[in-house]
Chains A and B, each alone.
Chain A
Amino acid sequence: MIALLLRDLRLAFRAGGGFGLGLAFFLIVVVLVPFGVGPETELLSRIAPGILWVASLLAALLSLDRIFALDFEDGSLSLLATSPLPMEGAAMMKALAHWITTGLPLTLAAPALGFLLSLAPEAYAYLLVSLLLGTPALSMIGTFGAALTVGIRRGGLLLSLLVLPLYVPTLIFGAEAVRRGADGLDPTGALMLMAGITAGCFALLPFATAAVLRINLR
C-alpha cells in the first residue's frame, strides 16, 4: 500500500504529472472573483469563506480524472486488481495520493489567498482547520466518481456532474465553519459534522470504489 502511494506521488510530482495545476487554478479563480464582483473590501471579506471553499472544491475536481484514467489505459489498474493488495486498499491509497497532491497544497495556500480577499483575521485558523478536515472527503468522493467514469471516453464532464452533488454536504459545513469563525460565532458544530463526513467517506466509500472498479475491469 505504501509502495502504491509513493508511486502515485512520484508520478504526480515529476514532469507531466500535473502537480501544481490545481493550485494554479485555485489562484486564478480567487484572483478573478474581485474582478467579477468589484473591489469593495467589506463585500469581499463577507464572501471570502464561500469563494475559498468553492474554488478549492473546483480545483480538487480538476485533477480527478487523472486518478484512474492513465492507470486504466496502460493496464496497471488490471495489474493492481490481480495483486494481493485488496482493491479497497488501492482505492484508499489513490484517494490519499490525490489529497496529498491537491488537497494539502490547497489547504496551505488558502490563507495566503484569504489575504487577497481580505478574509476576517479571526477566520484564518478555521479556514485552515476546515480545509484540512474537509479536503480528504473531497478526494475520497472524487475517487469514487473517477472510478465510476473510468471506462468512459471523455468522461470528465460527466464526472463533474456526478461528483458535484455529492460535494454539497462537505461544502456546506466547510464554508459554514469559516463563516461562523469570521463572525465570531462558535464553529465547532460545523467542524465536527464535517470531520464526521470525512471519516464516514473514508470508512465506506473505498468499498463502493473497489466494487465499481471491479465492474469496470470486468
Chain B
Amino acid sequence: MSMWEYANPRRFMGWTRPVLPWSFALAGLCLTVGLIWGFFFTPDDFRQGSTVKIIYLHVPAALMAINAWIMMLVASLIWVIRRHHVSALAARAAAPVGVVFTLIALFTGGIWGQPMWGTYWAWDPRLTSFLILFLFYLGYIALWEAIEDPDTAADLTSVLCMVGSVFAILSRYAVLFWNQGLHQGASLSLDKEENISDVFWFPLLVCIAGFVLLFIALVLMRTRTEIRARRIRALQARARRA
C-alpha cells in the first residue's frame, strides 16, 4: 500500500467524495470567521485607517496564487515522471483557480493602492511580477485548450509549466533590477521579529487557512469534473465503435 494508490482515478473519486463537502464547509467557516473578525472586530491602523483591512483578502490570495503555480509544477513533475493521469488533470484543474487568485490579489492591491499610494497601478517589481504570473497562467490554460489529444496536451503543458517556472523566477528578479518599488516588504514570516501585530495576525491566519482550504476544495472538485468528463469521452468513443 503506497501513497500512489490514491492516485488511481477510481480510488481518487472514492476518497474525495467524503472529503469534498468537509473541505468546502471548513473553508466557508474559516473565511466567514476570519473575514468578519478581521473586518469588524479589529482596530483601524493609525496611519492607514480602515483600508488596512483589505489585507485579509489580498495577502491570502497572493499567497495562494503563487502556491497554485507551485502545486501545478509538482503535479506536472509527477505526471512526467510517474504518468498518473489524475496528476495531470489536477494541474489542469488548478490553473483557472490560480488565475482567479492572481486577479483577486491584483484588484485588491489596486483598490488599496488608490488611497494609500495615490495610484491603482505602479510598475513596481511585485506588481509587475504578478502581472507576468497572470500571463503565464493564461498561456498555460490556452495551451491546454488548444490541443485535442489529452496525453499530448498533458505532456506539453507539463514542459511549459517547468520552463515557465524557471522564467517566472527569472522575471521576478529581473524586475527588481529594473525598478525599485512602492510595495512594502513581507508583513508576515515565521522567523522574523517584526511581524504585524497580533491583533491583525490571528484573523489573517484564519483567512489564510480559509483560502488554502478553498483552493483544495475547488481543485478537488474540478479534478473530479475532469475525470468524469474524460470517462464520458471514453464511453462515447466506445459507443461510437460499437
Residues of A within 8 A of B164 (CB): 165-166
State in angstroms the CA–CA spacing of A189 and B174 once bound together. Answer: 12
State in angstroms the CA–CA spacing of A144 and B139 once bound together. Answer: 14
Min Cβ gap B102→A in Å is: 13
Instruction: Give the total of B residues in contact with A, Cβ under 8 Å.
Output: 25
Q: A131-154 CB contact bits vs B (8 Å, 1 = yes)?
A: 000000000000010001101100
Residues of A within 8 A of B36 (CB): none
The A-contacting residues of B in range 126-148, CB under 8 angstroms, are 132, 135-136, 138-139, 142-143, 146-147
Min Cβ gap B178→A in Å is: 5
Q: Contacting A216 at CB < 8 Å: which of B156, B160, B177?
A: B156
State in angstroms the CA–CA spacing of A172 and B174 once bound together. Answer: 7
- Which residue of chain B has its CB nearest to the CB of A189? B177
Q: A90-125 CB contact bits vs B (8 Å, 1 = yes)?
A: 000000000000000000000000000000000000
Q: Contacting A165 at CB < 8 Å: which of B132, B155, B177?
A: B132
Residues of B within 8 A of A190 (CB): 177
Question: What would 24 A/B residue contacts be, using CB atoms closer than 8 Å?
Answer: A149-B143, A149-B146, A152-B146, A152-B147, A158-B143, A161-B135, A161-B138, A162-B142, A164-B135, A165-B132, A165-B139, A165-B164, A165-B167, A168-B167, A169-B170, A172-B175, A172-B177, A176-B177, A176-B178, A204-B166, A208-B159, A211-B159, A216-B152, A216-B156
Q: Which 10 A-B pairs have the closest CB atoms?
A: A169-B174, A165-B135, A162-B139, A215-B155, A172-B174, A169-B170, A168-B171, A172-B178, A166-B167, A161-B139
Known: A144-B163, A204-B166, A216-B152. 7 other contacts (CB 8 A): A148-B156, A162-B139, A165-B167, A172-B175, A173-B174, A197-B170, A215-B159
